[in-house]
């Protein structure tokens, strides 16, 4: 169905009827001037917002709308996870080019709700408008956390150990595979199981909401961030906020078999972990005297290095060579600069 058949208020009504979830915690949702929401009285409210722009953050040649909705939710739920919070409510703004169909919009919301729903986060408001340019998405997620259990980026101290959940780099490698298959000199043929796994991690990343809450509740972490820009940049954000440096052991950075076994990737596997981003794993630091608390949580984490005095980040290769580790993730306003030293 064409958007022009439905009209703006028809679309809002359709979204409200189909995707708005009723709850006593959201007595007023989609369809009024603002949503009215109820939080636990002892909680701190967490708020995060992201803009996703066609041609900058995503390309409709490499993602379907369901996956785009899923990933839009993932990026924001992951920010709440990185504070140790529980996501509660989502607002979705969509800028819609004429070529987008009502069914595609449904797909977006279905994907968003599939992931948000896993975490009992409700879609309670938003905005829809025409875009003469690309497809635009803005997502705001509100969460909550007990006041004493929020983990900021700024608490790392020299000597703290650096951990990361899961494994890094799959998402960036998955994007490269998708791009190869959608370009003008299109790669064809069936994907291998490893390639499919990397692509899945790119299109449908799983934010570590439960792990983030457990880490925060245990009180073991001195700082935490989610890996959205790549390990080098996101560790850089922790070091910057905490005014410290770091040493990372290259051969400790967790990589999946899928990434290590995929043939035909343009870069060494570790580079995807260091600079590709969009893995949505949690990167956090733990003081030595709280390591037992972390172990008791029984979540899959890997120690990859430690926080140092000073303000430099160093990558130590398996051979013991020390290389400067510079933030090499994406910068929206700067041309991409390859820092040779940081790529072993």
Positions in 175-194 near its own copies (CB under 8 A)? none
For residue 1, state whether it binds its own copies (rule: CB under 8 A): no
Instruction: Give the chain's radius of gyration (CA, Å).
Output: 21
Element of type H or E holding 78: helix 65-82
- Whole-angstrom distance, CA of residue 98 vs CA of residue 179: 25
Cβ proximity of 282 and 165 under 8 Å:
yes
Place of tokens 């430099």: 312
**63 or 256, CB closer to its own copies?**
63
Positions in 282-341 near its own copies (CB under 8 A)? 327, 331-335
Q: Which two tokens stand for residue 66?
A: 């369901």
For residue 8, state whether it binds its own copies (rule: CB under 8 A): yes
**13 or 64, CB closer to its own copies?**
13
**48 or 256, CB closer to its own copies?**
48
HSE of 41 in the Cβ direction (CA atoms, 13 Å)?
0
Rounded to the nearest whole angstrom, what is the least distance from the CB of residue 184 to its own copies in the complex? 19
Rounded to the nearest whole angstrom, what is the least distance from the CB of residue 323 to its own copies in the complex? 22
Which of 21, 59, 114, 152 forms a contact with its own copies (CB under 8 A)?
152
Residues 6+ apart with CB under 8 A from 265: 173, 176, 177, 272
- Whole-angstrom distance, CA of residue 165 vs CA of residue 171: 14
For residue 230, state whether it binds its own copies (rule: CB under 8 A): no
**224 or 315, CB closer to its own copies?**
224
For residue 32, state whether it binds its own copies (rule: CB under 8 A): yes
Which of 24, 41, 188, 289 forms a contact with its own copies (CB under 8 A)?
41
Listed ranges 142-150, 244-252, 286-294, 299-307: which one lies at the site for its own copies (CB under 8 A) = 142-150
DSSP 8-state symbol, 279: -
Which of 35, 231, 274, 299 forms a contact with its own copies (CB under 8 A)?
35
**143 or 256, CB closer to its own copies?**
143
Positions in 78-117 near its own copies (CB under 8 A)? 78-80, 82-83, 85, 89, 91, 93-96
For residue 276, state whether it binds its own copies (rule: CB under 8 A): no
- Whole-angstrom distance, CA of residue 344 vs CA of residue 340: 8
Positions in 45-64 near its own copies (CB under 8 A)? 45-51, 53, 55-57
Beta-carbon neighbour count of residue 61 at 10 Å?
A: 10
HSE of 140 in the Cβ direction (CA atoms, 13 Å)?
11
Q: Are strands 86-96 and 136-146 parallel, antiparallel or unpaired?
A: antiparallel
């Amino acid at each position: 169905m064409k958007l022009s058949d439905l009209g703006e208020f028809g679309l809002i009504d359709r979204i409200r009827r189909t995707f708005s979830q009723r709850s006593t915690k959201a007595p007023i949702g989609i369809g009024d001037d603002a949503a009215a929401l109820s939080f636990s009285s002892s909680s701190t409210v967490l708020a995060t917002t992201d803009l996703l722009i066609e041609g900058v953050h995503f390309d409709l040649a490499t993602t379907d709308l369901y996956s785009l909705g899923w990933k839009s939710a993932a990026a924001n739920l992951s920010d709440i996870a990185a504070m140790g919070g529980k996501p509660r409510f989502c607002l979705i703004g969509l800028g819609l080019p004429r070529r987008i169909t009502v069914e595609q919009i449904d797909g977006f919301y279905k994907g968003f709700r599939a992931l948000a729903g896993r975490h009992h986060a409700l879609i309670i408001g938003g905005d829809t408008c025409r875009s003469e340019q690309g497809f635009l998405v803005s997502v705001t997620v509100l969460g909550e956390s007990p006041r004493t259990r929020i983990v900021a980026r700024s608490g790392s101290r020299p000597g703290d150990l650096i951990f990361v959940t899961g494994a890094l780099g799959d998402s960036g490698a998955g994007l490269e595979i998708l791009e190869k298959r959608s370009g003008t000199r299109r790669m064809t043929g069936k994907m291998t199981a490893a390639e499919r796994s990397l692509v899945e991690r790119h299109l449908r990343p799983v934010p570590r909401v439960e792990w983030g809450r457990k880490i925060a509740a245990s009180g073991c972490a001195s700082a935490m961030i989610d890996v959205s820009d790549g390990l080098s940049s996101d560790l850089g954000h922790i070091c910057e906020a905490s005014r410290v440096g770091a040493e990372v052991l290259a051969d400790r950075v967790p990589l999946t078999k899928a990434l290590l076994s995929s043939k035909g990737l343009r870069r060494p596997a570790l580079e995807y972990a260091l600079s590709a981003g969009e893995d949505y794993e949690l990167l956090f630091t733990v003081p030595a005297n709280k390591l037992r608390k972390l172990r008791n949580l029984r979540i899959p984490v890997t120690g990859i290095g430690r926080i140092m005095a000073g303000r430099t980040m160093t990558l130590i290769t398996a051979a013991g060579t020390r290389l400067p580790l510079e933030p090499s993730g994406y910068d929206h306003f700067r041309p991409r600069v390859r820092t040779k030293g940081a790529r072993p």
